[in-house]
Structure 1
Amino acid sequence: MNPRTPWQALTRPRFLLGAWPWRGAGYLASGAAVGAAAGALFLVLGVFSLLLVGLPLLLLSGIALGRIERFRLRIVELAPAPDPHRVPAAPGLAAWFRTRAAEQATWREFAYALLLATVLWPLDLLALAVGVGLPVALLSAPVQLAVDGHEAKVVKAYLVTSYPQALAAALLGAALLVALAYPLAAVAGARAALARALLTPRESERQDGIGEVIASRARLVDAFEAERRRIERDLHDGAQQRLVALTMTLGLARLDAPPGGPLAEQLAKAHAEAGQVLTELRELIHGIHPQVLADYGLGPALADAADRSAVPVDTDADALARLPRLPGAVESAAYFAGCEALANIGKHSGADRARITARHTDGVLRLDVEDDGRGGADPDRGSGLTGLADRIAVLDGTLTIMSPPGGPTLLRVEIPCPALSASSASSSPRTVSSSGRG
């Protein structure tokens, strides 16, 4: 395994033959340059801050410097440094600044910027001068003597007057360059570890970020379900009613047309086509969001799906009818998972019988769909369950398929969810689900 940090590289026998000594030197050299520039910038902004003008600029400079330092970490750490900042809840500069000012990561970046501008960059420069500058100065002794012609004062302390002395100084410089590569890389690793500790998200911030992602996904699911219901309602109350009126008008026109003539024949065809379109529209509306699911809940909706299955299905979901309603997104996801499973059973399993069981216990909805078919079901072969698994995962749930060759097959959906309060569920009528076809 290739080393990913200077600390790991130091333990490798081929450390000196790789790029890590140069990486460490480059990281310290760039740190000295960035720190010196930051010190000059902070000095200027400090004067303005006396007039309370530079305080926001100081904060912004800390954020900018944090971004630069996270990018600079790539020199010595192969693992990318994640950004610790959250996405503002609202657009605009004011919302962005309020979010940044309230984050601990912003103030850690500011503290690191002050530390870099005052303490760290001189230490980087000192380590670089000792680890690289001193050996290079000794290595250049023969060149300095050749340029002067008589003598050369190496490192301002060692007087060289002959080429044997200059060669000895160069050999000492080469030995020091090799020996000091190890502590130089260690210093670079320590600096990088300090930067990562202050400039990357902490565990609590990562958990907060994950929580925000989960919450946003849940909001997207709720919005998606609301949009599905709006489309279903618009089709039901708009296009379907117009088609019903058109079918009735064509039926009345057939009564007024002379029987046996071409007009009656054309009206009969139009009437049949309108009836077929109305039937297909009703099936489409039912597929978008069945009315039985919206009105009565998951148990009766599963029983209705079982009644329409090509394979005889027994349902055991009566317990759901005795409980308050579940969240709409949960009921919808479980219902469509059950429908997809029944469709796959009818198309691919060769089963003689299937069974649906639904329970809500300990804050978890569990839906099992079993069949006695040939087994060997594979979601990766395009059964439609992969998309359902993604949809259930958004709700922090799981979809599991156990289908050994020869059967039987069991599809299990588990979604953690609380039942809604009785007051919130009282507006929705409930019925007790019954068994499907025998």
Structure 2
Amino acid sequence: MGDGQGAGSVWGPVARAGFVRSAAPWRAAGYLLATGVSGLLLCVGLLLSGLVAGVLAVLLVGLPLAAALALAGLPVAAWERRLVRFLDGGRVPDPHLVPERPGLAAWLRLRYREQATWRDLGFTLLAAFVLWPVDLAVVGCVLAVPGYLIAALPLLLLDGEQVNVLKVAEVHSPPLAALLGLAGLLLLPLVAYPLAVVAAARAALVRLVLAPGAQEQRIGELVRSRARLVDAFEAERRRIERDLHDGAQQRLVALTMVLGLARLDAPADGPLAGRLAEAQREAGEVLAELRELINGIHPQVLADHGLPEACADAADRSPIPVTTRFDLPGRLPAPVESAGYFAVTEALANLAKHSGASTATVEGRYVGGRLTVEVRDDGCGGADPERGTGLTGLADRIAVVDGTLTVSSPPGGPTLVRVEIPCAPTDRGAARG
């Protein structure tokens, strides 16, 4: 995994033979300098923001600012993760989840509920009020001592009389200043080690606090694996539909035509004509059943034209008069359209078998980042998932795409089946292969 490699590479360069000659010491110095300066600026910014929020809180105007300060850790944590990547090249994964639906409200709701947001805030306070003085002090001490020694001779030559080395000793002799400069050059490789160790320790702290924990990683992997399974399932359904449509169905059509031609060649009053007619009728019934099977697997109208047309086609095939109304911004993701379509077909099948309804309506709309599909009927009601009406399996199917199924079916009716699925419109073309 990239995480483990990145964590190991924080300490790895310090133990390598060519560490002093590599770019690792300079990266460590740049890392601590960047974290120190950004921490100082962050400290000033947080103090000023907190002061302003406290003053304005009296007028209730500062309360939104105080709430916004809780999210101050998000950009700071992102910056810290990027700096660690600059230091050792290892990526620190972002622990934050992607909102289920677009919009600022959904993003804020998710961020305030995440543990990672509060870890980011805690580390931000630590960086602003504790870590940055340590970072700058280490960089200053480690680089200032060799720097002062190396600069002793040039400063003495410029002054002509004396130079104060590290503010503790006055040097008047150029040979002594040259020896101090040589000592500074010899000391410079040695101070690279404590500099790199401090930088590595700070980067390890960033990984410990700002990287996703084991449980978060498992949840994220489960979410990603479920999305992959849904996509693979839909792709397999479309493949089976294509194979049946282009293979078995076409051969049955050809068989029906051959049987029809054979009937023309057979004597009209002979037994062969009757058997051929029976065979042709059986082939036609098998073909009709196969078409229904293909339509149940993944209807071509859904793939070619989208959810409204597919639901209208399902309504036309219903034995009960069904009116459909849809208001969608365009095509939706394939799993969402498939789940919405099969929710409608299952609801129509249930009302045809159990409701005793005379009419039904199917309405679909897209509002607030959610697809909502409602199926209403004027039947007798009393739909119960425990009685094997297919609603339990339908709820499981909707849950796969993070949707919800709501059924309102009091005794005496009417029945309302509502499906809500978070999604975003896609820019894909009208046809899908």
**TM bin (shorter chain):** 0.5 to 0.7
Q: Are residue 5 (structure 1) and residue 9 (structure 2) matched?
A: yes
Native 8 Å contact 1:26 1:75 kept in 2: no
2:208 partner letter = A
Describe the shift of the 1:65–1:2 C-alpha distance in structure 2 as closer, same or farther (beyond 3 A).
Answer: closer
For 2:72, which of 44, 55, 61 is the aligned residue?
Answer: 61
- In the alignment of these two chains, the number of paired residues is 270
**Structure 2 residue aligned with 1:41:** 45
**Structure 2 residue aligned with 1:96:** 107
Describe the shift of the 1:15–1:221 C-alpha distance in structure 2 as closer, same or farther (beyond 3 A).
Answer: closer
- How far apart are residue 84 of structure 1 and its match? 0.8
**Structure 2 residue aligned with 1:28:** 32
Q: Are residue 164 (structure 1) and residue 168 (structure 2) matched?
A: no
Taking the TM superposition and a 5 Å limit, the aligned residue runs for 1:297-376 are none
1:49 partner letter = A
**Structure 1 residue aligned with 2:191:** 180
- Once the two structures are superposed, residues 251-272 of structure 1 have per-residue CA deviations (whole angstroms, 9 ceiling, x without a partner) of 9xx9xxxxxxxxxxxxxxxxxx
Describe the shift of the 1:3–1:89 C-alpha distance in structure 2 as closer, same or farther (beyond 3 A).
Answer: closer
- CA separation in 2, counterparts of 1:169 and 1:38? 38
- How far apart are residue 171 of structure 1 and its match? 1.9
For 1:109, which of 120, 135, 139 is the aligned residue?
Answer: 120
Q: Are residue 216 (structure 1) and residue 222 (structure 2) matched?
A: no
**Structure 1 residue aligned with 2:165:** 154
- CA separation in 1, counterparts of 2:224 and 2:289? 32
Q: Secondary structure at the match of 1:54?
A: helix
- CA separation in 2, counterparts of 1:93 and 1:41? 24
2:39 partner letter = G
- CA separation in 1, counterparts of 2:296 and 2:64? 63
Native 8 Å contact 1:6 1:20 kept in 2: no
For 2:206, which of 195, 219, 228 is the aligned residue?
Answer: 195
Native 8 Å contact 1:21 1:185 kept in 2: yes
- How far apart are residue 425 of structure 1 and its match? 7.1
Native 8 Å contact 2:146 2:187 kept in 1: yes
**Structure 1 residue aligned with 2:271:** none
**What is the root-mean-square deviation of aligned Cα atoms in Å?**
4.4
**Structure 2 residue aligned with 1:266:** none
Indicate the percent of aligned positions where both proteins have the same amino acid: 33
- How far apart are residue 59 of structure 1 and its match? 2.6
- Once the two structures are superposed, residues 327-386 of structure 1 have per-residue CA deviations (whole angstroms, 9 ceiling, x without a partner) of xx9xxxxxxxxxxxxxxxxxxxxxxxxxxxxxxxxxxxxxxxxxxxxxxxxxxxxxxxxx
**Structure 2 residue aligned with 1:79:** 90
Q: Secondary structure at the match of 1:18?
A: coil
TM-score, normalised to structure 1's length? 0.53
For 1:133, which of 144, 147, 154 is the aligned residue?
Answer: 144
- How far apart are residue 60 of structure 1 and its match? 2.8
Taking the TM superposition and a 5 Å limit, the aligned residue runs for 1:202-281 are 202-220=213-231
1:423 partner letter = G
Give structure 1 stretches of 5+ with no counterpart. 255-274, 295-328, 330-419, 429-438
- CA separation in 1, counterparts of 2:30 and 2:152? 24
Q: Secondary structure at the match of 2:195?
A: helix
- Once the two structures are superposed, residues 200-247 of structure 1 have per-residue CA deviations (whole angstroms, 9 ceiling, x without a partner) of 111110001011123333444566688899999x99xxxx9xx9xxx9
- CA separation in 1, counterparts of 2:49 and 2:76? 14
- CA separation in 1, counterparts of 2:38 and 2:132? 8
Describe the shift of the 1:221–1:130 C-alpha distance in structure 2 as closer, same or farther (beyond 3 A).
Answer: same
TM-score, normalised to structure 2's length? 0.53
Native 8 Å contact 1:145 1:152 kept in 2: yes
**Structure 2 residue aligned with 1:142:** 153
**Structure 1 residue aligned with 2:323:** none
- How far apart are residue 155 of structure 1 and its match? 1.7
Q: Secondary structure at the match of 1:156?
A: coil
Describe the shift of the 1:223–1:71 C-alpha distance in structure 2 as closer, same or farther (beyond 3 A).
Answer: same
- How far apart are residue 291 of structure 1 and its match? 7.7
2:20 partner letter = L
- CA separation in 1, counterparts of 2:123 and 2:391? 56
- CA separation in 1, counterparts of 2:101 and 2:176? 70
Q: Are residue 423 (structure 1) and residue 388 (structure 2) matched?
A: yes
Describe the shift of the 1:6–1:16 C-alpha distance in structure 2 as closer, same or farther (beyond 3 A).
Answer: farther
